Amino acid sequence: MKPRPADVATRIVGHYRRTRRDLPWRRTRDAYAIWVSEIMLQQTRVAAVIPYYERWLERFPTVDALAAAPLDDVLAAWSGLGYYSRARNLHRGAAEVVARYGGRLPSEASELRALPGIGRYTAGAIASISFDRREPVVDGNVMRVLARVYEIDDNVKSTPVQKRMWQLASEMVPAESPSDFNQGIMELGATVCTPRRPSCGACPLASLCRARATGRQAELPVTPRRKSADELPLIDVAAAWIERRGKLLLMRRVASGLYGGMWELPQAGAPGALDEAIGVAVTLLSDAPAAQHEQQLSHRRLRVRAWRARLGRGRVTPDPARYQAFRWQPLDRLADRGLASGTAQIARALAL
């Protein structure tokens, strides 16, 4: 027999109220603060987010403050969190909220979804947590809980199962406590109904869970096999470390694509192509790179090899297909820029 959504909801709300973690974004109902936290928490662990969240709200305490801030300041505050399009969309979204709503986020999920970077999940989270709207949320934690409780055997990333998950979540959200339910089911997936070795003995849904009843909790949810690092395509780029009177040459990437809007060392597909990227002849000062950065992205790998180099005569003219600006940044103030992660790591190695 399938568990009744109302029974599942009642147990989740009660468990959440008894055991919830004390997280900084749970001490407020301010929609802007909730928005920031939800965006930061996308694909990022809670422990990593907390210091960024607290520093962010000190620097940009309101929507108006964020909208008025230069993009460079926003990206610098985000530097290290990754997936930088999240920061750019927050900045763009803040400007739209100021222009369209006078600096106050709308309370309806449909209006929230019209803002940059806010999808169905984030809109539901903001609307329910900040405004008590009866809106569902479905993220990875929620999918795992639902797949186990209802013993869903199909791939949870498939369109039919996604529709079923959203329907189940919609039926469960109680009218009187949507905030506690949504936070509770996400919390349950994060702390109890974990991907490996779920703590079924501590779960408020243990007696309702069909996967536990059949001993299948470790098998579910069903997800596509993830590719190993060796199976992912490699992006291999060359970078130039060029100093001049205590300053380092940085280029700002165009707004779209990987690391859009971020500052980085001038880069090209090969050392011999750096001239074209910078617009001036480049001389490498050694045969071997001085530093290297490797990183696994969601669907590919990135390797940046940096050579110390010097410029020939001429005016720096960045390749417009790749860069929108350049600057000579003081070496002791590199942290003031929103640096791409590869450049940040290489700078830590070479800016002695």
DSSP annotation of 152 reads -
How far apart (Å, rounded) are the C-alpha atoms in residues 132 and 177?
A: 7
| Alpha helical stretches, state H, 273-330 | 274-278
* The one-letter amino acid at 218: A
How far apart (Å, rounded) are the C-alpha atoms in residues 113 and 107?
A: 11
* The one-letter amino acid at 156: V
The distance from CA 309 to its chain's CA centroid, rounded to whole angstroms, is 34
* The one-letter amino acid at 231: E
CA distances 200 to 4, 156, 195, 210, 217, Å, are: 19, 21, 12, 12, 9
The residue whose two tokens read 């992912």 is 232
Instruction: Provide the token pair at 73.
Output: 């300041």
DSSP annotation of 161 reads H
The distance from CA 184 to its chain's CA centroid, rounded to whole angstroms, is 21
Residue 240 · residue 265 · CB < 8 Å: yes
Q: List, as one string, the DSSP characters of 329-351.
A: EEGGGGGGS-B-HHHHHHHHHH-
Instruction: Provide the token pair at 227.
Output: 């590719």
Q: Where are the beta strands (DSSP E) in the chain?
A: 234-241, 243-244, 247-253, 263-264, 267-268, 282-284, 291-296, 301-311, 323-330
Give the active site residues.
38
